[in-house]
């Protein structure tokens, strides 16, 4: 299997309808293997829905989603794709270690993996605390740690750094890049625009459409802006999308 | 199928219970107190021998129904179910893990409650004690399977708890404990024939009456087992990997 190069995610004409609302409208994109791609956009823009479609838990109305060369949601992908939802999805009535030991067993990862990922998210001091007694940021890290178990080739992370202090955020981003250099592909959503510069490529989403798919440098240069927030605004004005 | 995932799930569910000592204590001691209360109420009459035995089957059924429906609902609302369904675990592994964990708790509960009933409260049972435990275990699995299935139809824990009066109480009224089933009005008697708890209670009462394993007990147990399997299959069908 190719470790670098080639597409980790290939989305073609994706349409998602929820109720009577068109949440994603003709979305196409490609994410290179071993890259860190940022998915940016205001809340309600369709970021989470796009991520769910890529993980294969979203019922889609049209288009194709291919992950690591297979249709999204294939059973063969379940050990190869790690997904962190926006709301931490771990057991509040178990300790950090018990949570991760359980998920490791389900993923058929070695038992020692729990200790490794606890270290990765800097929760060693809280490993034997009940998850329900942790702070919001610590809770989010437990949820993130569960996605790092085993050997995921693609990590889909929905706002993994919300509520974290700057030092920890920096450390996590360093880890994301380390993973990418080892060949892991990361798709990270955020509404914090300053995190965008840490990505190799950015996807700007607004109202169910991809507004831009470019490197941060190109986006800034193209729009003549100093920061991603301004670049985003200029793009909106340029494309004449009603605010 | 993946035995490792089933066992890991059972261990996880038991660990969750271990952290919640109060629930565990309530699951074991409330049936003992109720059974004792019943023995006291019917002191000096033969009623306790009939009703007391039937209740040994009803307690594990109700307790496991409640615990399972709330536990599975939590799993659905907290996002952990969605996470698990993106992982390499079969839906059946997950359900069997739950059944295994609550089945174990039911065995402990039945041993303690039946032990108290037989040796402390003087319950008189003709059949062998091990058969009481087998019937109680099957009743517990019935509660677990129905709880798992019905949790799919509840959006909140309030709703889940309301399924007790909605689904369990009618079965309790018609199971033959208040009025023997053959003396019920025709329509009600027919309805009670197709309710799982009727057969669970019939089996328990039969164990209390006869000293041997009769064909009647076997067929009642087979009906209960059939309901368990059907509820598990339907429950598995309500777990969806893809959602709107």
Q: Lowest-pLDDT range, A224-228, B189-193, B197-201? A: A224-228
pLDDT over 80 (residue A152): yes
Please state, in angstroms and rounded to a whole number, the distance separating the CA atoms of residues B171 and B164.
10
* Residue pLDDT, tens place only, A78-134: 999 999 998 899 999 999 999 999 999 999 999 899 999 999 999 999 999 999 999
pLDDT score of A2: 45
- Backbone angle region of A203, left / alpha / beta, with phi > 0 → left and psi within -120 to 50 → alpha: beta
Residues 6+ apart with CB under 8 A from A192: A161, A162
Task: Tell me the ipTM for this assembly.
Answer: 0.87
pLDDT over 60 (residue A158): yes
Burial class (CB in 10 A: 0-12, 13-18, 19+), B19: middle
pLDDT score of A162: 80
DSSP secondary-structure letter at B243? B
Tell me whether residues A94 and B89 touch, CB distance under 8 A: no
Please state, in angstroms and rounded to a whole number, the distance separating the CA atoms of residues B121 and B130.
18
Residue pair A93/A36 in contact (Cβ under 8 Å)? The answer is no
Please state, in angstroms and rounded to a whole number, the distance separating the CA atoms of residues A164 and A168.
6
Residue pair B241/A56 in contact (Cβ under 8 Å)? The answer is yes
pLDDT score of A185: 96
Burial class (CB in 10 A: 0-12, 13-18, 19+), B52: buried
Residues in B closer than 8 angstroms to A59, CB to CB, are 242-244
Q: Which helix (H) or strand (E) segment is A211 a member of? A: strand A209-214
Q: How many CA atoms lie within 13 A of A129 on its CB side?
A: 13
Q: At A4, is the pLDDT very low, low, confident or very high (cuts 50, 70, 90)?
A: very low
pLDDT over 90 (residue A15): yes
Taking residues B157-175, what's their average pLDDT?
Answer: 92
Residue pair A60/A14 in contact (Cβ under 8 Å)? The answer is yes
Q: Encoding tokens for residue A141?
A: 């890290």
Tell me whether residues B80 and A56 touch, CB distance under 8 A: no
pLDDT over 50 (residue B106): yes
Q: Phi and psi for B199 in degrees, rounded to 5?
A: -75, -35
pLDDT score of A1: 44
Tell me whether residues B88 and A89 touch, CB distance under 8 A: no
pTM: 0.89
Which residues of A fall below an 8 Å CB-CB distance to B? 18-19, 55-59, 73, 75, 78-79, 81, 83, 85, 87-94, 98, 102-103, 105-108, 130, 146
Q: Which percentage of chain A shows pLDDT scores above 70?
A: 96
Sheet containing strand A7-18, edge to edge, reads A21-32, A7-18, A62-67, A70-71
pLDDT over 70 (residue B220): yes
In chain B, the residue whose alpha carbon lies closest to the alpha carbon of A17 is: B244
Taking residues B66-87, what's their average pLDDT?
Answer: 91
Please state, in angstroms and rounded to a whole number, the distance separating the CA atoms of residues B134 and B127.
12
Residues in B closer than 8 angstroms to A19, CB to CB, are 244
Nearest to A71 by CA among B93, B242, B82, B243: B242
Please state, in angstroms and rounded to a whole number, the distance separating the CA atoms of residues A125 and A121.
11
How many contacts (CB atoms, under 8 Å) link A and B?
78
Residues in A closer than 8 angstroms to B5, CB to CB, are 105-106
pLDDT over 50 (residue B9): yes
* Residue pLDDT, tens place only, A192-219: 777 788 899 999 999 999 999 999 999 8
**Angle at the Cα of A44 from the Cα atoms of A191 and B153, rounded to 5 degrees:** 125
* Residue pLDDT, tens place only, A33-48: 999 999 998 888 999 9
Taking residues B32-36, what's their average pLDDT?
Answer: 92
Give which of A71, A106, A132, A146 to mutate to test B binding, by max B Cβ within 10 Å: A106
Residue pair B103/B61 in contact (Cβ under 8 Å)? The answer is no
Tell me whether residues B16 and A93 touch, CB distance under 8 A: yes
């Amino acid at each position: 299997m190719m470790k670098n190069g080639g597409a980790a995610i290939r989305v073609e004409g994706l349409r998602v309808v929820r109720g009577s609302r068109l949440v994603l409208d003709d979305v196409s994109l490609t994410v290179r293997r071993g890259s860190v791609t940022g998915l940016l956009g205001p809340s309600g823009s369709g970021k989470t829905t796009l991520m769910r479609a890529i993980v294969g838990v979203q019922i889609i109305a049209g288009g194709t989603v291919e992950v690591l060369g297979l249709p999204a949601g294939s059973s063969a992908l379940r050990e190869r794709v790690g997904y962190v939802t926006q709301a931490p999805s771990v057991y509040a009535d178990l300790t950090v270690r018990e949570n991760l030991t359980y998920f490791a067993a389900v993923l058929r990862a070695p038992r020692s993996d729990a200790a490794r990922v606890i270290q990765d998210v800097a929760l060693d001091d809280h490993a034997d605390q009940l998850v329900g007694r942790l702070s919001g940021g610590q809770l989010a890290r437990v949820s993130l740690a569960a996605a790092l178990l085993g050997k995921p080739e693609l990590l889909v992370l929905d706002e993994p750094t919300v509520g974290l202090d700057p030092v920890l955020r920096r450390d996590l981003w360093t880890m994301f890049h380390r993973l990418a250099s080892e060949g892991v592909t990361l798709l990270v959503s955020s509404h914090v625009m300053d995190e965008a510069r840490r990505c190799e490529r950015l996807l700007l989403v607004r109202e169910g459409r991809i507004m831009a798919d470019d490197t941060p440098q190109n986006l800034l240069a193209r729009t003549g802006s100093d920061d991603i927030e301004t670049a985003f605004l200029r793009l909106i004005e340029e494309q004449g999308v009603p605010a | 199928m993946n035995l490792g995932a089933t066992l890991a799930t059972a261990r996880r569910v038991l660990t969750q219970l271990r952290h919640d000592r109060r629930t565990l204590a309530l699951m074991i001691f409330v049936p003992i107190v109720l059974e004792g209360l019943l023995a006291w109420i019917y002191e000096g009459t033969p009623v306790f021998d009939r009703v007391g035995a039937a209740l040994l089957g009803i307690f594990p059924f109700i307790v496991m129904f409640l615990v399972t429906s709330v536990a599975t609902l939590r799993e659905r609302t907290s996002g952990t179910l969605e996470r698990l369904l993106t992982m390499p675990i079969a839906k059946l592994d997950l359900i069997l893990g739950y059944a295994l964990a609550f089945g174990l708790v039911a065995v402990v509960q039945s041993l303690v409650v039946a032990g108290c009933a037989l040796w402390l409260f003087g319950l008189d049972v003709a059949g062998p004690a091990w058969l009481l435990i087998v019937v109680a275990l099957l009743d517990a699995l019935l509660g677990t399977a129905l709880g798992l299935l019905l949790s799919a139809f509840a959006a909140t824990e309030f709703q889940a708890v309301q399924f007790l009066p909605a689904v369990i109480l009618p079965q309790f009224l018609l199971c033959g404990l208040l009025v023997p089933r053959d003396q019920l009005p025709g329509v009600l008697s027919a309805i009670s024939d197709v309710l799982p708890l009727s057969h669970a209670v019939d089996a328990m009462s039969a164990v209390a009456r006869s000293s041997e394993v009769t064909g009647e007990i076997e067929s009642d147990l087979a009906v209960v087992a059939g309901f368990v399997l059907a509820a598990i299959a339907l429950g598995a069908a309500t777990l969806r990997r893809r959602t709107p």
